[in-house]
Chains A and B, each alone.
Chain A
Amino acid sequence: MIEWIKYRRGLIIGIGAIILFAYWATTTYEPRVLASILLSGLTLGALYFLVTSGLSLIFGLMDVLNFAHGTLFMIGAYVGFTLYANPRLLLNTVPFVIAVVAGWLLAGWLPVKRIRTPGWLFWIGAVIVAMMAVWGFELAPLATTALSSGGRIPTEQAQAPTAIFVIRTLGLAVAGLIAGIAFLVGKEHAQQPLSAKLLVPLGMLTLALIIAPIRLSAEGWLLSLNSNTRFLLALLVGASSGAALGGLMEWSLIRPLYSRPIYQVLVTLGLVFVGTELVKAIWGPGGYFMELPEWFSRRGPGCPSPNLIAWLQDNCASIDVLGRPFPSYRVFIIALGLVMFIGTAILLQRTRLGMIIRAGVQDSEMVQALGINVRRVFTLVFALGAGLAALGGVAAAPFLGISPGLGQEFQLQAFIAVVIGGMGSFTGAALGALLVGLSRAFGDQIVLTGIQLPWMSEAMSFSPSIARASTVLIMALVLLLRPAGLFGKKE
């Protein structure tokens, strides 16, 4: 019995703490206040989970602590918002990216082996061609939006004529091709045989070129869509852009540095800097506010909706929870977090890929030895984690607003959640995120109403920064009691 208690010490202390806390919470707050605090906590927890899960998986699998995860979150928010409110910026830049990638892929079909010119000459050539292709391209006017009654819309800024746009696209495709050659020169590499695979890069190139003449009508079409559809598209595009960026990051910057782990961390820290500055350069240092889609924005008679089922019909901006209105959009965030949690859990537990990932967390060299291309799985998991974070970013945009500082805030809370939950553990990440979210919600409430200790005549109230800072104290407590985190492996 005593052995058992000793072994389960952490668990017993934890349950005891939860019971004490629940007692304190139920006696201090009315049920309806408590319910809205809990729901707010769940909302934040869901967002934190989206960041933390990727962070934890990436660390568990490849021992890379991605300091730029919050930045990916922020970039996801910006891209999603841009699609939602100003697709012009995306329509005028995405074809360029597609063209470069298509050119790069095409290099695989060229007889590169016969080339004797050193690779660096090709790199320089690629850079020169790319610079020529984008010479005089102005991003800032495209990013400018104006506030109208229906939210932010693009201002009437002239975009480049189709002919110039096509030339730029083709030029970038050539630059990509040269860069692809530069990458392959001097490597043991088999020229790809002509096959249906060739259609992929060619199709991408065609797509990039097709977008050029229909940019304006596509923009009109996108903006005329129902805001709900646009919102779903924004979630999708934001998440996939995050995933693409994450994959690219792993492939180009993290992979060459697996032999020097410290430098990987240094690079990701540099990416925080670059990402924030890039966002400031494109979208400006100020913040944006993303309009809620129609599903979550109706006000007027009959609102707030009496319950969740009624909300499905009347789409009110808030739902009645025990007599207090609670924003329906936050319920959506909670649901999104839950769906992603279940989805990722199924992916990890029930699929072959998940099996490989779990095995890789245990021992990635062994997995490699079994004949599985672990490096490809690394890239995939990086992309997956980044995509989850970016999805969280888009989801957070209408709730918190968008600003270049968004990433750092979430990074900090996600780190704390990861330390609490234990690195590399998916359950730990989820639980840590939930704990941090709840403590933030309670902290905000306490800070708002103030603390009144028995000897004080009136309550001391604080600003929300104190609540934000206080989560670090929870982390310190967990570190003292269990340095490896709640679910982490002991070192």
Chain B
Amino acid sequence: MLARLKAPQWAGLSLIGGLVIFPYVIAMLTGQPVDSGVPKFWQGMLIQVFILAVFAMSYDILMGYTGILSFGHALFFGTGAYTIGILLKHAGWDLGSAFVAVIVIAIVQSLIVGLLSLRVSGVYFAMVTLAFAQMFFLLAEATDFRQWTGAEDGLQSIPVPAWISPTTERLRFYYLALGFAIAMYLVARQIVNSPTGRVMMAIRDNEVRAKVLGYNTLIFKLIAITVSGIMAALAGALNALWNLNANPAVLSVATTINALLMTIIGGVGSLIGPMLGAGVIQLLGYWLNVLFGPSWPLLFGIVYILIVLFLPYGIVGTWRLRGTSWLEQWRRRWQELTVRS
């Protein structure tokens, strides 16, 4: 069976293998125990990457596979975080039923938002979803629900079950997050490669054609939004568990921009691209923060604009184009930019 694997699959398997033994490798290199000090810090770093990777991948199902540009993706991420936080902290639910509730709420929410927003298309859709996300952001900040949401301070100290506490059981949480990312990737790949996924791509390429072929495009777009909404909500819920809190920032535009950034840097229209993008952004953000201190977001924004201008295919897209030489690609891009049409 192993003999039949192709090169990308080998790369994927070895990446997963590398990530599985990563905590122990770091522990060996630094000579520190695996559940404290530097290894613990890097596990935390990667946990954040895994969570954001799922979030970015869910975004790409919308943007890269169905061709829907949403600027309200933080809505699902944030609602997932708040749902699990409120259920664990105030309602005293157990973890399993809380996750089920997260999924159910994500489905309802994405159906409502989808049905309303899909009445318009293109940039209108982006605008309308942004407005919805902002509405939830404002509601999360509203002082009226302070006893439930904690208003602008957010939900603090969510009671996470001891067996996956991110502070004491960091290694277990690491494998949990890794498993979560892999599982979500497999699910997403299954969906994208299914007939439903093909229709989504047909909609992306030419919606009218898909319609003429007899597909009810609205249904398929709703499916895409729901799938992506569930994934984002699960990622948000895990994020809340990891940070032990949920604050209004998870619902803000910055969160959506983050997903966009990871998707664009990694490569639109692939599943692995956004996941790689999440890793790049997280590590780059960390280094920029160390190097430039508080002014790093500014630099980050500039890097983002430069990438949109000069590297629109992202890491994976550029890799796929590797047949053409690097110089040729740059020359082409340069011409495209500088020729005054």
Contacts and interface: CB of A to CB of B under 8 A. Distances in A.
A272 B264 CA distance: 17
Contacts of B128: 419, 475, 479
A271 interface: yes
A344 to B, nearest CB: 22
Interface string A256-278: 11111111011101111110011
A479 B116 contact: yes
A473 B257 CA distance: 24
Contact of B130 (A412, A463, A468): A412
B218 to A, nearest CB: 13
A67 B253 CA distance: 11
A472 B142 contact: no
Contact of A416 (B120, B131, B341): B131
A237 to B, nearest CB: 24
Interface residues of B, number: 45
A255 B142 CA distance: 40
Given A253-B309, A472-B134, A480 B116 contact: yes
B295 A273 contact: no
A262 B124 contact: no
B308 interface: yes
B261 to A, nearest CB: 8
B302 interface: yes
B301 interface: yes
Contact of A415 (B69, B117, B131, B300): B131
Interface residues of chain B: helix, strand, loop or mixed (majority) = helix
B215 interface: no
A410 B232 CA distance: 27
A465 B301 contact: no
A98 interface: no
Given A256-B337, A273-B254, A65 B126 contact: yes
B336 to A, nearest CB: 7
Interface in A452-485: 462-463, 465-466, 468-469, 472-473, 475-476, 479-480, 483-484
In this complex, the interface size class of chain A, counting residues with CB under 8 Å from chain B, is: 35 or more
A408 interface: yes
Nearest to B296: A277
B305 A271 contact: yes
Given A256-B336, A269-B71, A479-B116, A472 B312 contact: no
Interface in B128-149: 128, 130-132, 134-136, 138-139, 141-144
Contacts of B136: 469
A480 B253 contact: no
Contacts of A273: 254, 257, 297, 300-301, 304
Interface in B54-102: 69, 71
A418 interface: yes
Contacts of A476: 116
A165 to B, nearest CB: 24
Interface string A265-305: 11101111110011001000000000000000000000000
